[in-house]
Structure 1
Amino acid sequence: MMTAFIRQYRPSALDDVEEIENYSPGGFHPIHIGDEIEGRYKVVHKLGYGGFSTVWLAKDKLADRYVALKIIVANIKQDCKELGVLQKLAKEPTSHPGQDRIVSLLDNFTIEGPNGRHICLVLQVAGPSITSLNYSSGAVAGSRRLKAQLALKIAKQTVQALDFVHSQGFCHGDFTTSNILFKLNDSINTWSEEEIYKHLNQPKKDEIITISGSTPGESAPKYIVQPCSLLNSQFLSEEILLVDFGCAFPSNSPPSNPDNIGFTMSYAAPEVIFDSKMSIYSDIWALGCVLFEIRSGGQLFGDWIGTKDDVLRQMVQTFGKLPEPWWTVWENHSLFFDDNGEPKKIWDDGIVRANKFELDEMIVEIGAEDEEEDNPERNCAMILEPNGVRVSEKEALQMKDLLEKILKWKPEERISIKEIIDHYWLL
């Protein structure tokens, strides 16, 4: 018999914050603005969070620079996978252009807290992700996308970053636009704390209150903090960093069950979805999805519903019927398609089940649905495509050629990453 989950704390009134209930033994470490970690790192703001960590903007008093302090949940007791991968990727300098696209590990240590022992990674501080830019407040119908020239520059760097990871014997395992961040320009390290708050605003805090009315215990902080926004082109360089290697693995030793390490459905290759097989080939499939998103401002296979069926439906709409045995294994294919993989026209209630929406059509439609935004004075206007700008016929053909070579159903038929780097769309 399952035990019912009982909430201990009132939900926060702030948007985009971690689950407060995870401040418990084995979970997040409580942090407050102004805390000093290891007598060296002073917490000045919050950068973000994930399912297994919180990330803080801190001033390294010894090196006189700002860093990203990533504090991992306490229940990860084994050697931290991300730490090991980052150490190996940085072990020896190389001439590979992708090495500079990997986030730098600056320090690591463990701390003891009320919820257990936490591994802490001190990382190069970076700006917003491609995802946060594309889907930031005020975006309408994909209208927040990079200018064409910058998008292609970022796309090339993204391929170089993944190529470097593969060249060192690793797969990333969670290659998404959420893990591709803009580098910050050097100006941030000249800012005082007062200037940090001038540019990024004071941290928004919300007191943590128990449902019972009792005083929160030591497991939780006194307040929860909303991440700051770095979505301003004056802070950003035209370079990217690949981050979050928590799902990475040696290429010659893939995980037997990807469900145990997590993957993002919208970027998952069909062999990951059906056969739980992760490899350099599944990274390359994810790269194809990422390249489309960098150029278009929207996902190739959207996760609005986030279910396997919804993502598979979109794949078949774009590339046609899945090969066997996947087609038969996908039990719900008949809800959307006939036996030939053709979309069924309507539900019983008259709603369209599926439509053909092939890749060339998707590329040509980039920019077609742009609408005016409520606030035309966008913080990132200098790097964003003006509304309504379309992809040229020449570029559309080049982009289609590359993506069709990447997004092959069978892993072994996908183009190699070296061939992607040399493709004329990215030259």
Structure 2
Amino acid sequence: MHWTAIYPCAFRRCQDRYLPVRSLLKPPHLQSFSSLYAGASSIDPSTYSGGIDAEPLHRYRVSGYHPIALGDSFKDGRYKVLHKLGWGGYSTVWAAKDLSNQAYVALKFSVAKPQKENRELEVLRALARLDSGESGSRHVMQLLDHFHVEGPNGKHGCSVLEFLGPSVTDVLEMRFADERLPARLAKSSAQQALAGLAYLHKHKIGHGDLHTRNLAFLRQPEIGAVTRKDGKPLEPGLPAYLVRPTSYPADVSLSQQQIKIIDFGESFLDDDVPTTLHTPLLDYRVDLWSAGCLIFELIVGQPPLDSIMATPVTVVQQMLETASDKLPERWQQKWQAIDGARTENETENNLQEWLEETYFDGVRRQDMTREEIVKLGALLRKLLRFEPSARASVHEILQDPWLKNE
């Protein structure tokens, strides 16, 4: 059994990033960065220094990153690079301006990966072909364009994406000292994430990596109309409206901000789902467990599992304590072989107890009543189930009284 089939997005903190537990287990459909670069020419890391905390220089190599400088233009001068937004193991992301319409966009340059299919691009193109009028589509990142760049390290794909704001995790770190969102903002974020997920699942698309770093705020200007108190017309020297400087203040006005699901690097279509070691094909229901963990984290301010120094055995043991159903019979023998010191029958579910203990910890803000937290626990138990077929659908969760009652 490969435990990521039932719990694909348990998280552990590593340098302020959340990493899937599956990275510990290395399923065969995921290549490590080192294996991707096996045999490629490399630079000596001790020879060069960048002077700042950024992407590793040794990844600028054949089949690796494409070197980019501020002010560079791409696609016949259409896109001009303005700033760096971030980087990951397989891409760098840049803020740019689309000079054809003066719009700001994000350029995601992938590493050169010869003969490796880009599943993310396939999914984004599938989403682009769907009806954008569906309500859930407004909560999913959109692909605007795509092109290729030839460089010294190979041929790189570049996806042109919506220019979005900070992730939920970024807002937490920047604005909330106790790392817990206000209740209204947390619930609004959960509702919007679920609406986006329902849209994906309706079209048989699995996200595969749902967590707070993959929820981003849309940069929507806050505008205030300028009027005279006596109702007379404005003088010529006054603007029609004022625009608040771009920032994310720590107040409940954030609950009106739009959330979008981003980063489709682990996503898949229903007819092209990834396989994992010892398991049959996955489907989009892997997102349902992740959704339960996401909601827990949005409300409490931490993931449901204690992932410090996590190992596959300790993660699964905590899963047994968290899941609302028993470990399926077909998996029990494999679990006992992994951890013969314990048996599944010795483990009791303590999700509600842990939820209340972590929320009412006496340290962080407590905007919800105990009754609301009890209702939240009932919702989470519908999602945190080992059997994928037993998990509630996203549509069912959106109808839950906890989400319906503001």
Conservation of the 8 A alpha-carbon contact between 2:176 and 2:250: no
In the TM superposition, 1:254-273 aligns within 5 A as 254-257=273-276
Shift, 1:137, TM fit: 6.3
Letter in 2 for 1:295: I
Could you say which residue in structure 2 is the equivalent of 1:241?
260
Could you say which residue in structure 1 is the equivalent of 2:242?
none
Letter in 2 for 1:28: Y
Could you say which residue in structure 2 is the equivalent of 1:382?
none
Q: 1: distance between equivalents of 2:375 and 2:71?
A: 51
Letter in 1 for 2:204: G
Could you say which residue in structure 1 is the equivalent of 2:399?
422
Q: 2: distance between equivalents of 1:52 and 1:415?
A: 33
Could you say which residue in structure 2 is the equivalent of 1:340?
345
Shift, 1:105, TM fit: 1.3
Conservation of the 8 A alpha-carbon contact between 1:366 and 1:390: no
3-state SS of the aligned residue for 1:404?
helix
Q: 2: distance between equivalents of 1:231 and 1:33?
A: 26
- Of 204, 208, 212, the residue aligned with 1:169 is 204
- Of 297, 302, 306, the residue aligned with 1:293 is 297
Cα deviation digits, residues 210-248 of structure 1 (max 9, x gap): xxxxxxxxxxxxxxxxxxxx7666997611111112222
Conservation of the 8 A alpha-carbon contact between 1:130 and 1:178: yes
1:80/1:128 CA distance change after superposition, 3 Å? same
- Of 324, 328, 331, the residue aligned with 2:329 is 324
Letter in 1 for 2:373: A
Q: 1: distance between equivalents of 2:280 and 2:213?
A: 22
- Of 374, 377, 393, the residue aligned with 1:400 is 377
Conservation of the 8 A alpha-carbon contact between 2:175 and 2:249: no
3-state SS of the aligned residue for 1:425?
helix
Shift, 1:252, TM fit: 3.5
- Of 351, 354, 374, the residue aligned with 1:362 is 354
Shift, 1:88, TM fit: 1.6
Conservation of the 8 A alpha-carbon contact between 2:127 and 2:142: no
1:187/1:111 CA distance change after superposition, 3 Å? farther
Letter in 2 for 1:8: D
Q: Percent identity?
A: 34
Cα deviation digits, residues 68-108 of structure 1 (max 9, x gap): 11001111545532222112212142543210111121111
Q: 2: distance between equivalents of 1:106 and 1:94?
A: 13
Could you say which residue in structure 2 is the equivalent of 1:8?
44
In the TM superposition, 1:63-74 aligns within 5 A as 63-74=101-112
Q: 2: distance between equivalents of 1:307 and 1:18?
A: 27
Cα deviation digits, residues 364-412 of structure 1 (max 9, x gap): 23444465xxxxxxxxxxxxxxx43253122112111111011112111
- Of 179, 195, 219, the residue aligned with 1:144 is 179
Shift, 1:309, TM fit: 2.1
1:138/1:151 CA distance change after superposition, 3 Å? closer
Conservation of the 8 A alpha-carbon contact between 1:102 and 1:161: yes
After TM superposition, the score normalised by the length of structure 1 is 0.71
- Of 390, 398, 401, the residue aligned with 1:413 is 390
- Of 80, 83, 91, the residue aligned with 2:121 is 83
Could you say which residue in structure 1 is the equivalent of 2:145?
107
- Of 101, 115, 127, the residue aligned with 2:165 is 127
In the TM superposition, 1:25-104 aligns within 5 A as 25-38=62-75, 39-104=77-142
Shift, 1:111, TM fit: 0.7
1:276/1:180 CA distance change after superposition, 3 Å? farther
Conservation of the 8 A alpha-carbon contact between 2:322 and 2:384: no
3-state SS of the aligned residue for 1:59?
strand
Q: 1: distance between equivalents of 2:344 and 2:89?
A: 40
Unaligned segments of structure 2, at least 5 residues: 1-37, 224-244
Quote the RMSD (CA, aligned, Å): 3.0
Letter in 2 for 1:244: D
Conservation of the 8 A alpha-carbon contact between 1:80 and 1:119: no
Shift, 1:339, TM fit: 6.3
In the TM superposition, 1:267-282 aligns within 5 A as 275=279, 277-282=281-286
